Amino acid sequence: MNYKLLHIFRNTPFGRETFLQSLYFCKTINAFPLAYIPRSDKFLLYFSNDAVQVDLDHSYLTSPDTAKSNAEKLFEEMGTKPMFYEPKNFTASSLPDISTNFDYLCCPRSVSDMSSKIGLGHIGPRVRRIIKHATFPVLITSPVFKPWKSISVFFGGSKNALTALTLGLKIALASGLPLDIYTLLEKQDEAYYRELIEKEGLDEPVTQLSRQWFFYEKAHFDTMLYDVPHNSLIVLGAYGHGIIKDLLLGSKMEQIQSTVMNNLLITGPHCSMSLQ
């Protein structure tokens, strides 16, 4: 299949790291990376029930005259044909509409804040809204380019988690890399989760493609995070709650992303996935 990943290119050393990560992701799963070099500090993403305006910080517009050639060099370094995305439609002259017709989107942890904040484990509100409405998975890269050698799926039994598991299996199939599943036993026992995937018809691919399925008691959440290999791509489902809901109810995604520095591949509530 012709899977496409959209990357918003930032012409800075930090941007180079995230772009390399996107290129590596595409190369590993045999997808096509498309780089968008922004010409204004904002753009719009129109999803089926929301229009998300992404306000970029000024580092995205650094040295616009060298941005394309720098991106091309990185494409070449990874042995990938350079491909750039050009917006066709504009809501206003300085507000391009970016297509949401992609299979993956690469986001730093926060698109609107300076990269210095990212180390603080903060996921920006725009990234949350993108996750909430996107019909495609969102790749949130580690701050430094870090090739991953395995896939770790966090499976909690929800609908989103099932989508994430399907995506993990798909990535494992495309990349040939080993897949591990991590489950935190909150209210149910091991058998419940095994029955669940059997009901969803995922038992066979899980048996074929996964290396190991780890179960942890609820209290051992931090241990589980520590056990995830540092060079593994973490795949998880998220609801894309706003900050207020997260503060009230807590957010696993927030906890995970602020604790581990791995690359994260997140499926939101509108993301659907099949193994075919």
Partner 1 sequence: MSTLKKGYSILYQWLFHRDDRLLLIIAGSVAGICSGLAAVALRLSLQTVLEWLHPFRHYGWAFVLPAVGALLSSLYLEKIAREGAGHGVPEVIYAVSRYGGLLRFRSSYSRLISSFLTIGSGGSAGPEAPVVMSGSAIGSNIAKFLSLNERQRITLVGCGTAGAIASIFNAPIAGLVFAIEVILGEWKFVNIIPIAIAAVAGAEVSQAIIPEQVIFNHQTFQVGLLDILPSLCLALVTALVSVVFTKTLQQSGKIARTSSFPLWVRAVFGGCIVGTIGIFMPVVLGEGYHFIQEMISGTFSLGVFITFVAVFAKIFATAMTLGWGGSGGIFAPCLVIGSLTGIVFHKFLLILLPSVGCAREGAYALLGMTGIISGVMQAPLTGIFLIVEITGGYEMTLPLIVVSSISSTMSHYIEPASFYFKDLIERGQFLRPGTDARILSDLNISELIETRYTKVSGNMVFREFIEIIKTSRQNFFPVIDDRTNEYKGMVKISAIRKYVLDPGMYDMIFLSQIMDTEVMTVSLENDLQEVLEIMDINGMETIPVVEHDRFVGMISKTRILDLYRRELIVQTSAH
Would you tell me which residues interact with partner 1 (CB under 8 A)? 2, 4, 32, 41-42, 44, 46, 49-51, 53, 55, 81, 83, 88-95, 97, 101
Instruction: Specify the length of the chain in residues.
Output: 276
Nearest to 11 by CA among 78, 58, 79: 58
Whose Cβ is closer to partner 1: residue 52's or residue 184's? Answer: 52
Contact 157, 188 (CB under 8 A): yes
Whose Cβ is closer to partner 1: residue 32's or residue 221's? Answer: 32
**CB 84, min distance to partner 1, A:** 11
Whose Cβ is closer to partner 1: residue 112's or residue 115's? Answer: 112
Whose Cβ is closer to partner 1: residue 5's or residue 161's? Answer: 5
The residue assigned the tokens 């038992």 is 203
Strands 264-267 and 138-140: antiparallel
Whose Cβ is closer to partner 1: residue 85's or residue 182's? Answer: 85
Contact 124, 8 (CB under 8 A): no
**CB 178, min distance to partner 1, A:** 25
**CB 42, min distance to partner 1, A:** 6
Whose Cβ is closer to partner 1: residue 50's or residue 77's? Answer: 50
Whose Cβ is closer to partner 1: residue 50's or residue 195's? Answer: 50
Question: Which residues are 4's β-sheet partners?
Answer: 32
Whose Cβ is closer to partner 1: residue 36's or residue 193's? Answer: 36
CB contact set of 95 (below 8 Å; sequence gap of 6+) = 40, 42, 43, 44, 53
**CB 195, min distance to partner 1, A:** 28
**CB 55, min distance to partner 1, A:** 5
**CB 255, min distance to partner 1, A:** 28
**CB 94, min distance to partner 1, A:** 5
Contact 38, 54 (CB under 8 A): no
> How many C-beta atoms lie closer than 10 Å to residue 246's C-beta?
18
* Long-range residue pairs from 121-129, CB within 8 A, at least 24 positions apart, any chain: 121/254, 121/257, 121/258, 121/259, 122/258, 123/253, 123/254, 123/257, 125/242, 125/243, 126/52, 126/53, 126/54, 126/55, 128/240, 128/241, 128/242, 128/243, 129/50, 129/52, 129/240
**CB 4, min distance to partner 1, A:** 8
